A and B are shown apart, each in its own frame.
Chain A
Amino acid sequence: MLLPPEPSVTEHRSWPDESPIVSLKDVHKSFGSFEVLRGVSMDVRKGEIVCIIGPSGSGKSTLIRCINGLTPIHQGSITVEGQEVNDAKLDKLSLRRKVGIVFQQYNLFPHKTVLENVMMAPLKVLREPKAEVEARARALIAKVRLTGKEDAYPGQLSGGQQQRVAIARSLAMRPDVMLFDEVTAALDPETVKEVLVTIKELATEGMTCILVTHEMGFAREVADHVYFTDRGVIVEHGSPAQIFGAAQDPRTRQFLSQIL
């Protein structure tokens, strides 16, 4: 018997491989008089896995939230697939279709089932046909290994399961870039792994991922590029081997010696 073709769940729009898909140039951001980002630049290529590490309060979350326009910046430029984010007339819908974000506190919609959580944005925001959205949502739920939990409510799931639903929910918008802000920080050590496995699978499928993480082992294993931030600047960046093996800056070395 012939099986129907697998619906493509992480289909990519065409963006040339050469030019950076996400590009930050001299980004500045202040909360009041406190400057959180003091001139951050970075380039991320399509399919790349970028990890951002650094001490608490160094501006990692702020940085990642700037990329999809959740936090407006004061100076500099951020482009995603050529679209300028720091623009008064920003088309938020088009930006947020391209960039998905997953937070530390899963933030699932508690009044909706797992399936409804995943289906909601494509249905209500993109107004896509229900049958199509449902097929995609079920495939995504299977992808994050939660088949059978479609009708459960978030409150009935473990932290790791909720986080995987959050990932599926974000993927349902078919983003080209995924942002992860310490998505395993609130989880039990046992459930951290299942979430990391999910992210690793995404990465091997070619999804562009920008992760803020405290999981150094994970960063070392999957990252193409590691950025170390401290007090709103990028102190040092390079391949995992460079950063974890031969960090140049004393601040990086000190941070790594504390955490490893």
Chain B
Amino acid sequence: MSRRPFQLDPRLLVSGRVLSALDWRHGAALLVMFAASLTFASAQSAAAPPATPSALATLATWTPHILRGFVLNLVMSFLAMALATVLGIGLGLMQISPGRLLRLPARFFTLLLRNSPWLVILFAIMYLLPIEIRIPGGKPIEFPDWLKATLAFSLPVAGNVSEILRGAVNSIPTGQWESADGLAFTRAQTLRWIILPQCIRRAIPPWMNWYALLTLSTPMASIFSVHEAVWNAQSSMEAAGARPELLLPFYLFLLCLFFIYIYPIAICTRKLERKYAVAT
């Protein structure tokens, strides 16, 4: 069977609005398809030579293995988002700085990170970063593949977080800067106490949207045999005898897994979006 994981539609990654399109009906349809495929596959297994376990039994056996992989997806998504947030805020603050020396390089890196295909960044990081870093005199620091992939996923998101920050700061009316200026606030004080607090509420919905996209992208790491959910599902199917009827139920199971995780985030994002749209 193919070693290629399912591929993400890159246009979806650029538009960055997966969450507003997500609907409970998608989940319901997914569940129905999953159940149907499982019934169908189990019927096929029943027709196969005796002693072949049913598709349902196979899936049940391997579910803990797949879930362990899914935990890695989540760990990668948390770490990558944390890193992307820190990097993105740093880049974003540089982007809005009055000094060209900071602003122009930050602008360049933001655009570069935002507009590079995720797969390109992934390959670049996987091949460019050494497996371990040796600090003279110290123990070598290991860089396992899953950690490299996490770094790779964080980069494009960092570019987008940087842009979210810039957009949010620019959307604050200049009157806020002026009145702060008139009250003797310095630029840094104005940012810290007046501008950035107002940006947070505007930035949280898009930030969550990027988190969802990031989570949905983590299976790309299976290209490099990172043992996350998709890779584990594939290895389970192989271990179960690479039966073609297993393909559909297993992949639909994966989709359900991601849907169950993403859907509450989508609802929450939409609620916040609506709330802030009313408030401002």
Whether a CB of chain B sits under 8 angstroms from the CB of A229 is: no
Inside 8 A of B194's CB, which chain A residues have their CB? 109, 120
Say if the beta carbon of A29 comes within 8 Å of chain B. Answer: no
Among A70, A92, A105, A107, max chain B CB count under 10 A is at A107
Q: Are A121 and B184 in contact (CB under 8 A)?
A: yes
Q: How far is the CB of B243 from chain A (nearest CB, A)?
A: 58
**A121-B185 in contact (CB<8A):** yes
Residue of B nearest to A109 (CB): B194
CB distance from A66 to the nearest CB of B (A): 13
Interface residues on A, range: 20 to 34
Contact with B along A103-118 (1 / 0, CB 8 A): 1010111110000000
A155 beta carbon closer than 8 Å to chain B: yes
Q: How far apart are the CA atoms of A54 and B197 in the complex, in Å?
A: 39
- Selected from A68, A93, A108, A126, the residue in CB contact (under 8 A) with B182 is A68
A243 in the interface (beta carbon within 8 A): no
Chain B interface mostly = helix
Given known contacts A124-B189, A124-B193, A125-B189, A103 and B179 CB-to-CB distance under 8 angstroms: yes
Q: Which residue in chain A gives the minimum CB-CB distance to B174?
A: A107
In this complex, the interface size class of chain B, counting residues with CB under 8 Å from chain A, is 10 to 19
Q: Which of B179, B185, B201, B280 is A107 in contact with, Cβ under 8 Å?
A: B179
A169: interface (CB < 8 Å): yes
A107 to B193, CA, bound (A): 15
Are B198's CB and A96's CB within 8 A? Answer: no
Q: Does A97 contact B (CB under 8 A)?
A: yes
- B50 close to chain A: CB less than 8 A: no
**Docked-complex contact A103 and B184, CB < 8 angstroms:** no
Contact between B182 and A70, CB atoms less than 8 A apart: yes
> How does the 8 Å CB contact mask read for B82-108 relative to A, with 1 for contact and 0 for none?
000000000000000000000000000
Give the CA-CA distance A166 to B179 in the complex, in Å. Answer: 9
Binary CB contact string for chain B from 34 to 59 against chain A (1 if under 8 A, 0 otherwise): 00000000000000000000000000
Q: Distance (Å) between the CB of A171 and the closest chain B CB?
A: 11
Interface residues of A in 95-153 (CB under 8 A from B): 96-97, 100-101, 103, 105, 107-111, 120-121, 124-126
Interface string of B178-215 (1 = CB under 8 A from A): 11011111000100011001100100000000000000
CB neighbours (8 Å) of B189 from chain A are: 124-125
**In whole angstroms, how far apart are the Cα atoms of A70 and B198 in the complex?**
23
| Chain A residues in 8 Å Cβ range of B173 | 105, 107
Q: B175 contacts the other chain (Cβ, under 8 Å)?
A: yes
- Complex CA gap A230/B58 in Å reads 87
B16-33 vs A, CB cutoff 8 Å, 1 = contact: the mask equals: 000000000000000000
Q: How far is the CB of B199 from chain A (nearest CB, A)?
A: 10
Q: Are A96 and B197 in contact (CB under 8 A)?
A: no
Q: Does A170 lie at the interface of the complex (its beta carbon under 8 Å from any beta carbon of B)?
A: yes
Q: Are A173 and B183 in contact (CB under 8 A)?
A: yes
Contact among B185, B201, B280 with A124 in the assembled complex (CB-CB below 8 Å): B185
B:139-193 near A, CB below 8 Å: 173, 175-176, 178-179, 181-185, 189, 193
The chain A residue sitting closest to B201, CB to CB, is: A111
* CB of B279 within 8 Å of the partner chain: yes
A170 contacts B279, C-beta separation under 8 Å: no
CA distance A68 to B194 in the complex (A): 20
Across-interface contacts of A70 in B (CB, < 8 A): 178, 181-182
- By beta carbon, the residue of chain A nearest B198 is A111
Contact yes or no, A109 B176, CB < 8 A: yes
Docked-complex contact A120 and B182, CB < 8 angstroms? no
- Indicate if the CB atoms of A155 and B193 lie closer than 8 Å: no
A170 to B183, CA, bound (A): 7
Which of A93, A101, A110 is most buried by chain B, counting CB atoms within 10 A of its CB?
A110
Q: Could you say which residues of chain B place their CB within 8 Å of the CB of A92?
A: 184
* A101 & B182 in contact (Cβ 8 Å cutoff): yes
Cα(A70)–Cα(B184), bound, Å = 10
Closest B residue by C-beta to A172 = B183
Determine the residue in chain B with the shortest Cβ distance to A125.
B184
- Nearest residue (CB) in B for A173 is B183
Is the CB–CB distance between B183 and A121 below 8 Å?
yes
Bound complex: CA A70 to CA B179 (Å): 10
Check if A103 sits within 8 Å of B178, measured CB to CB.
Answer: yes
Supply 20 A–B pairs (Cβ within 8 Å), ascending by A: A68-B182, A70-B181, A96-B183, A100-B182, A103-B178, A103-B179, A103-B182, A107-B175, A107-B178, A108-B179, A109-B179, A110-B280, A111-B198, A111-B201, A121-B184, A125-B183, A125-B184, A125-B185, A169-B183, A170-B183
Contacts A96-B183, A125-B184 known; list 13 others, CB within 8 Å. Answer: A70-B181, A96-B182, A96-B184, A97-B184, A100-B183, A107-B173, A107-B175, A109-B179, A109-B194, A111-B197, A111-B201, A121-B185, A170-B182
Lowest 7 CB-CB distances: which A-B pairs, in order? Answer: A96-B184, A107-B179, A107-B175, A121-B183, A101-B182, A125-B184, A93-B184
